[in-house]
Structure 1
């Protein structure tokens, strides 16, 4: 019994230390700031809703995404087909729900690939400096000289039209933004006194980068990643609309928008609902990203 009481006291003490730790106080302050931003909360709720729809939505669909039935083609929204049917008699609601999976996968994977590459390039460039920094930054400047959609268009044109190549293209054009942000934070962090002290005590470059520099670039990275997902979704949809992304009969929202282009006057809902889905997804990530940026800004009160 005494041992159990001892364990209980120790667990309570560790829990209290966790609650009063600087990291926990920082997280609480971040959450309070984020909670005061109603637009960010709306964006966050929309993102959660999108993730839920993409995860479990396809299991509850009553119509297949590629079930062709020409007897019900171009049907307006009804109790059976909530968002109507397209020119092939396919249920638009089912295709939009399933397309949420593709959209979020493209957005997250492209930003993860581009972010990891950008972080590595930015830290190496900012930490070592000199000729390495000059060469890397000139390459990044060349990539930034091209508008994002044009650079992605050129990459997909070379690699070939597919959703996988869209992910690669969006990831490649995302690299310079991450690299420049991380480089700037690295240049500022590596001159701090505690980093100089660690270096004087014999800490290796690997330890300095991962223990002192990388944690200091996390905040701007989170903001950039959130906003980049919105850009990635918009770019991927644009490429699919042009026929260079997801190929038929994929229910990707940009491809669906292209399918409805020829029926704008007679059956405008075919293009309307995929377009609204793209707008809501991009708006959600932009609102949430702006809220995170405000919450992480130390200048805000």
Structure 2
């Protein structure tokens, strides 16, 4: 029976698509890191709550009821009520999607531009590489949050501009990572063979180089989402991001800072949720790096 089972498994492995087989191998490695696996499951849970939660809540996140203002956690108000009598649990559930959405969109926008810049810089080299890298060095000279603050002061305080500002300070990191990977890949023999066969630069870059350097890009994206969420929440906390009465987590946290001693629950729960988001993406990103690192393969 064992020989038959082995034959069946071998046949199934042959019929599986390469993508499915790669995913199984990746998940097998990821399972070895229990902390990363926990982070991955927590991310999935947070995304589900962000999507489904607002549909299941019975209260309006903007509805005020001054008869219950500053009420602590109870059976009716799980996270208590704020200084306007708004249910904090409802606001946190709605704000979770807003905050995570800012993190995802900023990472996608900044990552896309950074990847393109890094590919062009690394592949063509020479003067193009020098000009691009000097511009990247200028951006890297500014701490990320200070750069975002400067951009928000120019563009104006709203969520769209927060996404743009956070995306801009994501560009240098992605560009440097992709440039380094491109420099290491473009001189390999199969790239020289494609050039000899007359393949265009665009085909070589996007079909043969980019697919082979996706691992560090994916890892950096997963780690940067945590940074983007923290930066977006920080900007909203300072009054430069989401504006009242938006239930964005940083804005809710900002609402509670004047009542820390008398009604600490207003700031406690959105702060804990922000911490969970950042923790989940950081531990998952670390595990992802171990699972996707070729040096870790046996």
TM range (shorter): over 0.9
Paired residue for 2:5?
A: none
Query: Quick check: 2:13–2:21 contact (8 Å CA) kept in 1?
Result: no
Residue 188, structure 1, aligned to residue 181, structure 2: no
Residue 117, structure 1, aligned to residue 113, structure 2: yes
Q: Specify which of 208, 224, 228 is matched with residue 228 of structure 1.
A: 224
1:22 to partner: Cα distance: 5.4
Paired residue for 2:166?
A: 170
Residue 130, structure 1, aligned to residue 102, structure 2: no
The whole-number CA distance in structure 1 between the counterparts of 2:281 and 2:19 is: 25
Q: Provide, for residues 160-195 of structure 1, a one-character-per-residue CA deviation record: whole Å limited to 9, x for no partner.
A: 000110000000000000000110111111000010
Q: Which runs of 5+ in 1 are unaligned?
A: 1-12
Paired residue for 2:7?
A: none
Backbone CA RMSD of aligned residues: 1.5
Q: Which runs of 5+ in 2 are unaligned?
A: 1-9
TM-score by length of 2: 0.94
Paired residue for 1:211?
A: 207
Q: 1:125 to 1:83 in 2, by over 3 A?
A: same
Q: Provide, for residues 34-58 of structure 1, a one-character-per-residue CA deviation record: whole Å limited to 9, x for no partner.
A: 0111111111111111111110101
Paired residue for 1:99?
A: 95
1:59 to partner: Cα distance: 0.9
1:18 to partner: Cα distance: 4.1
> Per the alignment, in what secondary structure is the counterpart of residue 299 of structure 1?
helix
TM-score by length of 1: 0.93
* Equivalent pairs, count: 288
Paired residue for 1:6?
A: none
Paired residue for 1:3?
A: none
1:29 to partner: Cα distance: 2.0
> Per the alignment, in what secondary structure is the counterpart of residue 295 of structure 2?
coil
The whole-number CA distance in structure 1 between the counterparts of 2:19 and 2:237 is: 45
